[in-house]
Amino acid sequence: MITRRTLLSTLAASAVTAPCAFAAELGDDGLHKQPWFMDSFLELPDDLADAAERDRHLMVLVEQKGCPYCREMHEVNFARTEITDYIRQHFDVVQLDLWGAREVVDFDGEALEERALAQKWGVNYTPTTILFAAAHAGAGDARAAETFRLPGYLKPFHYLSSLEYVESGEYRKQPFQRYLQDKFAELEEKGIDPDVW
């Protein structure tokens, strides 16, 4: 006869030995970390200029401690190699803390704390992914430098599509919604049903 104690012991043991889903590492600041994040001096004009010299773009991730959607981005989106490989190939990534106090130099040259920069940029949700295309290196302010913003969590298909939208230069030609419609039509022609949700 299985007792409650035996059942609980068995369940606990299987939880320890069972394979678990991808879990992103937490840093000392409580934010999830990826090994391909840039170790930056947080001088964003220089970061974008350096990326552009190597034909890359700059991605700024604004996150906060305890954010469940940030965790989802790391444990779902960044667990997919098609996304992380694409990021690593085309983007330099800087992570900022929505409530952080590190000094950051904005594109207009102003030095301010992360939390003040987030407020200045109108970041209201975490995670917020802001993409700065290489073509915008040398822009005089963040508004001119910013290419595309993902406010909040996007599922993997839309997240990767956003990266492709910037890398391909399609942001110059059409709105993102039109780009997605074209992508859906192209996949449908090939008989592919994208995993959107």
pTM of the model: 0.86
Per the CB < 8 A criterion, the answer to whether 65 and 59 are in contact is no
Would you call 47 exposed, middle or buried from its count of C-beta atoms within 10 A (0-12, 13-18, 19+)? buried
Tens of pLDDT along the chain (197 residues)? Answer: 454 444 334 433 433 333 345 567 899 999 999 999 999 999 999 999 999 999 999 999 999 999 999 999 999 999 999 999 999 999 999 999 999 999 999 999 999 999 999 999 999 999 999 999 999 999 999 999 999 999 999 999 999 999 999 999 999 999 999 999 999 899 989 888 877 76
Beta bridge partners of 59: 93, 131
Q: What is the DSSP string of the chain?
A: ---HHHHHHHHHHHHHHS-----PEE-TTS-EE-TTS----SBHHHHHHHHHHTT-EEEEEEE-TT-HHHHHHHHTGGG-HHHHHHHHHHEEEEEEETT---EEE-TTS-EEEHHHHHHHTT--SSSEEEEE-GGGTT-SSHHHH--EEEES---HHHHHHHHHHHHTTGGGTS-HHHHHHHHHHHHHHTT------
